[in-house]
């Protein structure tokens, strides 16, 4: 677990720096620079590109880690595996582009009735779709070499920084909104170029259209896995990522803007899972290849505790400051109706976190098809849930449907892993972490506030952080966090002695 924690910490640091930039963008710069409809169309196009690329690129995203052990050979450039992945992904995109050229006018016609902005900016969906897919393939390929921090720099931090600067240029009148959208495309081109250059520096950028290890049985296994990857990605989108699409379709761009900001705040909780899964995936894949169930159990339980600890800490901190966050936003009162969307989605994320890396454990086992079957059922339920709850509860209804889907999905995966492998993720330290969060929330709620919004945020954040850090270290609720804290303290002491 050591390499997982180290790389996860580095990745999480970059990701949280990206979150700071993203928060500045979403909560301040975008509302300042764009109208609600402009913000709505930007979030609609971008988020749907990020959602649909696994489906469009023929499920290649599922193959990157799962089949790398079969191709791995440093002396032979890993037998052209990267070239194979990119060829498959681009081929899928070309097929989708042809279909879009033939039938896309029907989609544009439907959305044009809701806003002219759809007609103008939906065409940007295709290039963003391709670039998002290439970014994922290249960044995930880097994870095969236990490298996730620098790829996160290209695919997260620098993109957030660049788009924030571009939005400010819109605010200052240097470019218009259309030029902003075009410039965003070039930002993503830069991210792809950066990832290719990083692979070159690692000595892992190999081009070959000869695949000697691609035997008939392996090809069949990859096609089957990719097929279920496509269906699984589509079903996953229907199960847990449908909300923004449904809000935009049923309620319009204004509510899409409100929902996207609330969703961004709640998605901060998902960072620990992405960081830990990103580096755990190749290790779990190798453990399955070696049938090392003890290693999988170790990762499963430690990921559950540490993911939940981080997410619980963030949800408590966010919820105690939520009204102050909207108060400091430009036009914050217009977006404050997304307050309970944050809470509902946050609870759904916590369920996802506390069940550990269950998705990759199943995905890289011989039972990988289970993920597809269960997500397909939940996808249908989520569509029905959105159609029922959005008319009744508006954007809160969309959040309720997604949180419910996340809960059911993870409960089913939890039971499946226990039944098949006799593994469960929970440890005896979990109740202590839950109690610690309740105490922190209670104290933050009763502490007297000042008339200064920024000071209130600082006081509450400091109180929640202090209680969490003190409690975790005092009672050793997370051995990994305690070990990292000890190493950090030792480093500080050594530095102090030298000076």
Q: Residue 496 has what pLDDT?
A: 63
Exposure class string for 119-149: b at 16+ Cβ within 10 A, else e = eebbebbbbbbbbbbbbbbbbbbbbbeebbb
One domain for residues 393 and 472? no
Give residue 234's pLDDT band: very low, low, confident or very high (50, 70, 90).
low
CB 400 within 8 A of CB 393: yes
Q: Residue 239 has what pLDDT?
A: 61
Q: Residue 189 has what pLDDT?
A: 96
345 has a pLDDT exceeding 70: yes
The angle, 0 to 180 degrees and rounded to 10, between the axes of the packed helices 2-24 and 479-498 is 80
> Domain boundary residue among 408, 427, 446?
427
The CB density around residue 227, as the number of other CB atoms within 10 Å, is: 15
Identify which has the larger pLDDT, 283 or 119.
283
CB 56 within 8 A of CB 107: no
Give residue 9's pLDDT band: very low, low, confident or very high (50, 70, 90).
low
The CB density around residue 20, as the number of other CB atoms within 10 Å, is: 12
Domain count, the chain: 2
Residues in the chain: 499
Residues 391-398: what's their mean pLDDT?
93
294 has a pLDDT exceeding 90: yes
Maximal C-alpha separation, the chain: 70
7 has a pLDDT exceeding 60: no
One domain for residues 127 and 45? yes
pLDDT in tens, 221-230: 888 888 877 7
Residues 260-275: what's their mean pLDDT?
84
| Gap between the Cα atoms of 119 and 103, Å rounded | 14
Residues 225-239: what's their mean pLDDT?
71
One domain for residues 422 and 382? yes
Phi, psi angle pair for 145, to nearest 5°: -110, 25
Q: What is the mean pLDDT of the chain?
A: 86
> Domain boundary residue among 405, 427, 449?
427
Q: Residue 24 has what pLDDT?
A: 87
One domain for residues 399 and 488? no
Give residue 499's pLDDT band: very low, low, confident or very high (50, 70, 90).
low
Give residue 160's pLDDT band: very low, low, confident or very high (50, 70, 90).
very high
| Gap between the Cα atoms of 356 and 424, Å rounded | 9
Domain that holds residue 472: 429-499
The CB density around residue 395, as the number of other CB atoms within 10 Å, is: 26
Q: Residue 240 has what pLDDT?
A: 60
424 has a pLDDT exceeding 90: yes
Where does residue 77 fall: left (phi above 0), alpha (psi -120 to 50 degrees), or beta otherwise?
A: left
Residues 142-161: what's their mean pLDDT?
86
One domain for residues 335 and 462? no
One domain for residues 357 and 486? no
Residues 292-313: what's their mean pLDDT?
94
422 has a pLDDT exceeding 90: yes
CA-based R_g, the chain, Å: 23
Give residue 253's pLDDT band: very low, low, confident or very high (50, 70, 90).
confident
pLDDT in tens, 69-89: 888 878 777 778 889 899 988
One domain for residues 153 and 275? yes
In percent, how much of the chain has pLDDT > 90?
A: 38
Give residue 366's pLDDT band: very low, low, confident or very high (50, 70, 90).
confident
CB 240 within 8 A of CB 406: yes
Identify which has the larger pLDDT, 340 or 254.
340
Identify which of 44, 66, 70, 8 has the alpha carbon closest to the alpha carbon of residue 128.
44
Residues 238-255: what's their mean pLDDT?
75
Query: What does the DSSP 8-state code read for residue 252?
Result: -
Q: Which residues contact 262 (CB under 8 A, 6 or more apart)?
A: 335, 338, 339, 341, 342, 345, 395, 399
| Gap between the Cα atoms of 270 and 453, Å rounded | 26
> Domain boundary residue among 427, 446, 473?
427
111 has a pLDDT exceeding 70: no
Q: Residue 213 has what pLDDT?
A: 81
One domain for residues 346 and 479? no
3-state secondary structure of 469: helix
92 has a pLDDT exceeding 70: yes
One domain for residues 62 and 208? yes
Phi, psi angle pair for 425, to nearest 5°: -90, -10
Identify which has the larger pLDDT, 395 or 268.
395
Identify which has the larger pLDDT, 434 or 119.
434
488 has a pLDDT exceeding 70: yes
Identify which of 328, 296, 280 has the alpha carbon closest to the alpha carbon of residue 417.
296
113 has a pLDDT exceeding 70: no
Identify which of 146, 144, 152, 148 has the alpha carbon closest to the alpha carbon of residue 191.
152
Give residue 5's pLDDT band: very low, low, confident or very high (50, 70, 90).
low
Give residue 115's pLDDT band: very low, low, confident or very high (50, 70, 90).
low
One domain for residues 161 and 112? yes
DSSP H helical ranges for 74-115: 81-112
One domain for residues 120 and 193? yes
Give residue 127's pLDDT band: very low, low, confident or very high (50, 70, 90).
very high
Q: Is 104 exposed, middle or buried (0-12, 13-18, 19+ CB in 10 A)?
A: middle
117 has a pLDDT exceeding 90: no
One domain for residues 437 and 421? no
235 has a pLDDT exceeding 80: no
Q: Residue 64 has what pLDDT?
A: 85
């Amino acid at each position: 677990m050591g390499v997982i924690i180290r790389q996860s910490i580095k990745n999480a640091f970059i990701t949280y720096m990206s979150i700071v930039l993203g928060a500045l963008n979403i909560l301040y710069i975008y509302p300042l620079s764009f109208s609600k409809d402009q913000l709505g169309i930007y979030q609609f196009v971008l988020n749907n590109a990020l959602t649909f690329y696994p489906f469009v690129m023929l499920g290649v995203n599922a193959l990157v880690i799962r089949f790398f052990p079969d191709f791995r050979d440093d002396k032979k450039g890993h037998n052209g595996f990267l070239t194979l992945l990119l060829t498959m992904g681009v081929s899928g995109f070309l097929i989708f582009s042809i279909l879009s050229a033939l039938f896309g006018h029907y989609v544009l016609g439907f959305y044009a009735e809701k806003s002219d902005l759809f007609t103008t900016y939906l065409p940007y969906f295709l290039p963003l779709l391709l670039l998002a897919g290439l970014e994922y393939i290249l960044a995930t390929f880097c994870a095969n070499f236990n490298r996730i921090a620098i790829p996160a720099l290209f695919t997260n931090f620098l993109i957030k920084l660049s788009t924030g600067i571009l939005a400010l240029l819109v605010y200052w009148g240097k470019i218009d909104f259309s030029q902003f959208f075009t410039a965003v495309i070039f930002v993503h081109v830069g991210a792809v170029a950066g990832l290719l250059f990083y692979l070159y520096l690692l000595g892992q950028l190999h081009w070959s259209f000869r695949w000697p290890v691609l035997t008939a049985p392996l090809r069949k296994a990859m096609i089957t896995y990719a097929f279920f990857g496509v269906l699984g990605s589509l079903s996953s989108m229907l199960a847990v990522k449908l909300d923004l699409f449904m809000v935009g379709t049923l309620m319009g761009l204004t509510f899409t803007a409100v929902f996207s900001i609330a969703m961004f705040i709640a998605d901060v909780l998902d960072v620990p899972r992405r960081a830990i899964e990103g580096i755990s995936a190749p290790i779990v894949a190798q453990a399955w290849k070696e049938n090392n169930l003890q290693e999988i159990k170790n990762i499963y339980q430690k990921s559950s505790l540490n993911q939940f600890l981080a997410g619980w800490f963030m949800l408590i901190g966010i919820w105690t400051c939520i009204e102050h966050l909207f108060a400091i936003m430009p036009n914050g009162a217009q977006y404050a109706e997304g307050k309970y969307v944050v809470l509902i989605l946050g609870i759904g994320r916590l369920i996802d976190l506390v069940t550990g890396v269950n998705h990759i454990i199943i995905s890289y086992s011989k039972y990988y098809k289970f993920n597809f079957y269960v997500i397909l059922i939940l996808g249908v339920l989520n569509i029905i849930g959105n159609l029922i709850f959005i008319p009744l509860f508006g954007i809160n209804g969309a959040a309720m449907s997604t949180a419910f889907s996340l809960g059911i999905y993870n409960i089913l995966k939890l039971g499946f892993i226990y039944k098949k492998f006799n593994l469960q993720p929970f440890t005896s330290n979990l109740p202590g972490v839950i109690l610690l969060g309740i105490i922190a929330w209670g104290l933050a709620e009763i502490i007297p506030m000042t008339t200064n919004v920024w000071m209130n945020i600082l006081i509450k954040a400091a109180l929640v952080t202090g209680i969490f850090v003190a409690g975790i270290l005092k009672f050793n609720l997370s051995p990994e966090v305690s070990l990292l804290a000890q190493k950090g303290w030792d480093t500080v002491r050594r530095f102090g002695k030298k000076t």
